[in-house]
Chains A and B, each alone.
Chain A
Amino acid sequence: MSSLPLPQFSDLELRLLPPDNPLFRPDAPAAFASPDLYRLRLQAEHAVLVGGFDELICLDTLGFAPFDYQVRAAQIMLRRFRGRGMFCDEVGLGKTIEAGLVLKEYRLRNVAQRVLILTPAALVEQWREELAVKFGLEDFISSADPEFRTLGAAAWERFPRVIASLAAARRAEHRAQISQIPYDLIIVDEAHHLKNRASITWKFVNELQRKYILLLTATPVENDLDELYNLITLLKPGQLKTPREFRRRFVERGDPRLPKNRGQLRDLLGDVMVRHSRAQVNLRLPPRQAHTIRLTLSPDETEFYEAVSAVVREGFVSASGPSPAGEGDSPPADEAEAGAKVRQTDRFALLTLQREIGSSPAAAAPTLQSMAGREGNPARRTHLWSLAEQAAQISTWTKAEALEKLLTTLFKADPGEKALLFTHFRRTLDLLAERLHALGISFVVYHGGMSAAAKNQAIADFQSSAQVLLSTEAAGEGRNLQFCRTMINFDVPWNPMRIEQRVGRIHRIGQDREVRIYNLSARGTVEDYLLEILDQKLNMFELVIGEMDMILGHLSDERDFEDLLMEVWVSSQGQAGLKAGFDRLGETLLQARQSYRQVKEYDDALFGQDFSAE
């Protein structure tokens, strides 16, 4: 490919692509097509021509239909802001969708090749899923991917499209490498974490090289107007002048939260910010009602649950203990790293085991067997094998029986009723399928291991004839399931965001009936304590979609919520200890919710209901 500058356009780079045409190759036979085919060929080229951003070309390539306001927001970002701006819609209105539209548009137009998406750690996989399913962008790699981690710091250069947690990317060993790479597009989700100009995170994002940058946050201002200034400065340095001038012009003396010259400030913000409110976009959804069915496990089940929980607690303690080299010794660096990996693996296996026993004993059996196979201590190994056998021998399945009663009641009241039944574990799903079959309830299964055609057929069958869609977390991604209004959580995910995602499959635009959510929970289990916090304390199921995410984001503890739950479960002793521990966690969430609501009120007052760049 030749690249020649034009003398009269010295700032223009000219690339003359070599002709891929047999007439220019001495060795190729000169074949001519018919005039009709020649014209069709030109028409085909016209069909894929890219014009200006007046019309988005990505809309026909999406796996869903975005709302009009989302398309408009993307167009504003592309045309008016020229790729540098902030999406500040209220929670639940789809900032990710808007950013995804911009990203897809740039990719289709071949304007952005090297892309970096920075998000909270918990959202990395969610971003990857959404980009793949909704936008057909399957060539993103996450920084947690083994292939990425294997290459170390060199991976940032090697992979042009990366989704990474902000915390990981800003670490010293990565930061130097990332700062050298000229990105075309950078997207920062939950950008309110960049509110402090003196923080390492802000400085890190500021020093990144980029043509375009998008910030996503529902709450651009949390404590004072300087935070707004810091975000805008990341997008367009100088848009709000220097800090001193900004304070002088736009901040009331003595109160850093109170703006002045609001009209001028709004005008300046209108060059970089898009914000929609729920009232503005007229997003009305029917109410949703949550019912928690608390069960008492049978004695066998209770004994099994407590025995496995004890194994988990013991294992957690040892997985969090000193390195294999023994106390007082400093193991070599590679051994320490290997040790850390082992402990991380053990913790993950234990966490999974604790969740499995909350789903079904049968779901836990393979994990117990696997742990037994790896266990070095003979006594523990024997114990694990016996627990695995015990799982297979438990004859009662209280949750499944409760489910049967629930479904019978539902279908008796309305034979045309449909139910979306969620479970996280394939083993539980298979057993439930047997149960439903035995009951004579028509159902279809849906899980990530099915082909696209099989998935399509399952959804079609569910809509047309089947009463139950029995699914893992994969259900309904990008699909319209609004014809169904009943959802049953056979097991409850420990991450509230996952619960919200499940609800969001049916509680969305297009749903015109009240949504009913049934949670099956066994007394004394982790899920029971969790539901008490989420349902009783937080009224989570009545919150607006996306607010749970905001509340979790206001937790001062940066660890995953699952880790927080596990810590309480493992460290608490006895029923009283557990209750106290979970009560404390609940109080923490309530404080986080209070903190979030204060921020929301402040932002609503600052930007109003009618702020719009349109």
Chain B
Amino acid sequence: MAEDTSLRDFILGYCQQVGGLVEPPAYGVYDVLLPDEVAAHWGIGSLQRFNFDPALTTPLPLDDGRESVSSPSARKEGGAMPVTTLYYGHPLVETIVFELRQRPANTRLFINPPRLEKPGLRELVEKTFTFSNARPEAGHIQRNRLYHYTCFNFKVSLVSDEKREMVVSIWMHLQGGYSLPPAGIQSRASLESNHAYPELMASPPAWRAGAESGENPFTPEVLTDLLDRARVALLDEIAPTLESARKRSQHFLELDRARLENYYAGLQRDLEIRLSKAEDERQPALKSKLSALHDERQSKLADAEHKYRLRLDVELINLAIIAQPKIEIDVEIKKRGLRIVRPAAWDPVRHILEPLVCDVCGRPGEGMTLCESGHLAHSACLAPQCTDCKRAFCKLCSEKVHTCVVCDTPVCVQSLMVCKTCGRETCQKHRDLCHAADGQPQRITVPPPAPAEQAAPLPAKTEIPKAEDNEYPKKPGKTKTPAVRKPARPYLVRLPKAVTAQRIQVEIEVERAEVRAFALSKEREIAVRIWELTGNGINATCTCEKGWRCDANGRIVRPADAEHIEAQLMRLIRALANEYSVPEKKISFLRMATGHFIENRSLILGSAWKNPATLAAAQASFDRRSSPPAETDQE
């Protein structure tokens, strides 16, 4: 049996911690000189000889008849000082473990990068941070600030009919308020006990309102809130283990339940047969037995549930605060009518610009949206987009998005029409329909919205006469005339000549039937147009300076066959390029595969676009909805 090195390091390390001296080993035996008070407290002598390999010792009788244990070499030297073999469970080991567990022993560590500078940080910020409806502008002033990670060490106990425990460490970014895997940090930097940058101010935790630079970020309030976030991250981390334990408990519970149900059902059956055959005077007793049987069944089932009920205990053991200087720069995030400022940090250890954080879920993200209230949010953290003005609100501001009583589409408070007669709320399009059906709202069904990650497409517009070419076919007219028709409005809205773009970037996701095209000017998004293949056809949504006037927004196009679908999409992309006066050679294609974008020379759609059955169904649906049959865009 070999020496238990982890136990050795543990015991000798603690002996040194309490002021003891440890001599290098001789023949596997360590001489340890402990302070008198420590030795007295542990009930042993000050001078000890420890061994961690049971195979090294043999019993040896001493002169006074007692047994001692000494190494063969010690016997050779004539020494008879007893050697204590330590192992897990030895009383001294238990004493040390108990003593250590009486205090948390939090610590501070430091990462001291050799260089605190990053040339071109402004340009990097503006290139890296992208938003679906805003653009970043980096500030000119860079600051060196102290950032912190907090490593929370939890003891997690999973208890049901048995108990399992584990220690799980969760690293939290103090200023960002999110959890992150430590591997990327620990593999690149050493954690030191000395602080090389004591003069730097601490950056405040951005997720807490009112926090300012220079204040101590480790107040109990901050740590308590961060601990709550760490617990959530912990649960995410151990979710597979929890699920596995839950399934196990559920499995055994089901087995027990099935056994008990079968058993008591059988007993009940037997009793009922006896009851049916019993004489009158025996009936009450048998009925009473039936009732008692029911009670017993419930009691046994409750026992089984009690036995397999899962309980998770989470206890904080201790924590380590790791400080690291980073280069901080303010980022102004702007869109029409709105501007916010967020600090961004360049990490000189990981060589990354740390992501900004979603104000809704607290997790970092890219390509977020700036909501009308100045919150940054993932697309999944957004409230439904207003169908009238296309304003985006996050879930924190979801009270600002109401629902049209006629078409059930989302409408923001700024676009909302409130009827003075009935007080109901509608979108602008249906403002006269709130009480059109005998005082009740006229119900109009619109096509189901797109998946949550995309902005909800508008319902297909009603047919409007237009003067110029029919590149965008009209939505098929309705077979039934609505009770109230709105007057036609002009179709064409000429784009202001000043709005042009420098290039069109087209992004294709292989696994989804979706193509996104961005009209960019100086790398800022002018317009975003998305085509998605749905059951009704190719739905187009557009976010541009035209706002609700954009004709492309909400259009549904009849999809071509699989062999022509790419050409059809290409025509739509060229149309967008024409709108913004972008030459065709400035159209670039990026294809997303296995999590990365790959540049292509031409449009290559994924298989989701070319499924014949899907296309045929979409065509059929489009045809059904259009009367007379609508023109396609095929030449």
Contact = CB atoms under 8 A, between A and B. Distances in A.
Interface of A: 6, 9, 11-17, 19-26, 30-53, 59-61, 78, 82-83, 109-111, 182, 206-207, 209-212, 236-239, 241-242, 244-245, 460, 464-465
Given A15-B311, A21-B106, A211-B306, A52 B260 contact: no
Given A40-B10, A40-B100, A48-B97, 20 more contacts: A9-B246, A9-B310, A12-B242, A12-B310, A12-B311, A13-B312, A23-B223, A24-B224, A33-B103, A37-B107, A38-B320, A40-B14, A43-B6, A49-B167, A59-B89, A209-B303, A238-B260, A238-B266, A241-B266, A242-B267
Interface stretch (B154-162, B275-283, B448-456): B154-162
Contacts of B223: 23-24
Contacts of B315: 17
Contacts of A15: 311-314
B210 interface: no
A326 B312 CA distance: 65
Contact of B155 (A35, A43, A45): A45
B575 to A, nearest CB: 45
B495 interface: no
Nearest to B90: A60
Contact of B263 (A41, A46, A238, A460): A238
A432 to B, nearest CB: 25
A109 B162 contact: yes
Interface centre among A21, A78, A206, A239 (most CB of B within 10 A): A21
Contact of B162 (A48, A53, A207, A239): A53
Contacts of A211: 161, 303, 306-307
B544 interface: no
B442 interface: no
A353 to B, nearest CB: 42
Given A23-B223, A82-B252, A111-B162, A42 B266 contact: no
B220 A26 contact: yes
B58 interface: no
Contacts of A111: 159, 161-163
Given A30-B218, A109-B163, A242 B266 contact: yes
A20 B65 CA distance: 49
A109 B160 CA distance: 11
Contacts of A40: 10, 13-14, 17, 100, 105
B17 A51 contact: no
Interface in B258-286: 259-260, 262-264, 266-267, 270
A36 B17 contact: yes
Interface string B68-101: 0000000000000000000011000100110011
A34 B105 CA distance: 8
A44 B300 contact: no
The 10 A-B residue pairs with the shortest CB-CB distance in the complex, in nearest-first order: A60-B89, A238-B263, A38-B107, A44-B100, A464-B65, A41-B105, A242-B266, A33-B105, A238-B259, A19-B316
Contact of B166 (A19, A33, A49): A49
B137 to A, nearest CB: 39
Given A12-B242, A44-B100, A211-B161, A33 B270 contact: no
B23 interface: no
B494 to A, nearest CB: 52
Nearest to A239: B259
A24 B220 contact: yes
B599 to A, nearest CB: 40
A27 B405 CA distance: 56
Contacts of B408: none
Contact of A51 (B165, B235, B300): B165
A211 B307 CA distance: 5
A532 B238 CA distance: 69
B566 to A, nearest CB: 42
A34 B107 contact: yes
Contacts of B256: 236
Contacts of A61: 89
5 contacts: A15-B314, A38-B318, A47-B93, A51-B164, A237-B300
Contacts of B313: 15, 17
Please report whether the interface of chain A is mostly helix, strand, loop or mixed according to DSSP.
mixed
A21 B311 contact: no
B317 A41 contact: yes
A241 B17 contact: no
Interface of B: 6, 10, 13-14, 16-17, 65-66, 88-89, 93, 96-97, 100-101, 103-109, 153, 155, 157, 159, 161-167, 191, 193, 218-220, 223-224, 227, 231, 235, 242, 246, 249-250, 252, 256, 259-260, 262-264, 266-267, 270, 296, 299-300, 302-303, 306-307, 309-321
B86 to A, nearest CB: 12
A12 B246 contact: yes
A359 to B, nearest CB: 33
Listed residue (B223, B250, B262, B303) with the most chain A CB atoms within 10 angstroms of its CB: B303
A78 B17 CA distance: 39
A218 B66 CA distance: 41
A40 B6 CA distance: 11
A20 B104 contact: yes
Nearest to A460: B66
B104 A209 contact: no
B161 A83 contact: yes
A44 B167 contact: no
B197 to A, nearest CB: 18
B314 A22 contact: no
Contacts of A239: 259
A36 B15 CA distance: 12
B242 A210 contact: no
A181 B305 CA distance: 16
Contacts of A25: 220
Contacts of B259: 236-239
Nearest to B268: A242
Given A33-B107, A42-B153, A47-B10, A23 B310 contact: no
Contacts of B106: 21-23, 31-33, 38
Contacts of B66: 460, 464
Contacts of B270: 242, 244
A22 B220 CA distance: 9
B507 to A, nearest CB: 33
A16 B166 CA distance: 15
A242 B263 contact: yes
Nearest to A238: B263
Contacts of B103: 33, 41
Given A30-B218, A38-B320, A44-B100, A14 B246 contact: no
A261 B104 CA distance: 60
B17 A37 contact: yes
Contacts of B218: 23, 30
A107 to B, nearest CB: 11
Contacts of B311: 12-15
A13 B160 CA distance: 10
A245 to B, nearest CB: 7
B416 to A, nearest CB: 32
Given A78-B162, A211-B306, A23 B220 contact: yes
Contact of B97 (A37, A38, A44): A44
Nearest to A211: B307
Given A242-B263, A245-B266, A36 B13 contact: yes
A50 B193 contact: no
A6 B235 contact: yes
B108 A32 contact: yes
A265 B308 CA distance: 27
B63 to A, nearest CB: 11
A230 to B, nearest CB: 14
B131 to A, nearest CB: 31
A12 B104 contact: no
B532 to A, nearest CB: 30
Contacts of A236: 256, 259
A23 B219 CA distance: 8
A19 B316 CA distance: 6
A44 B94 CA distance: 9
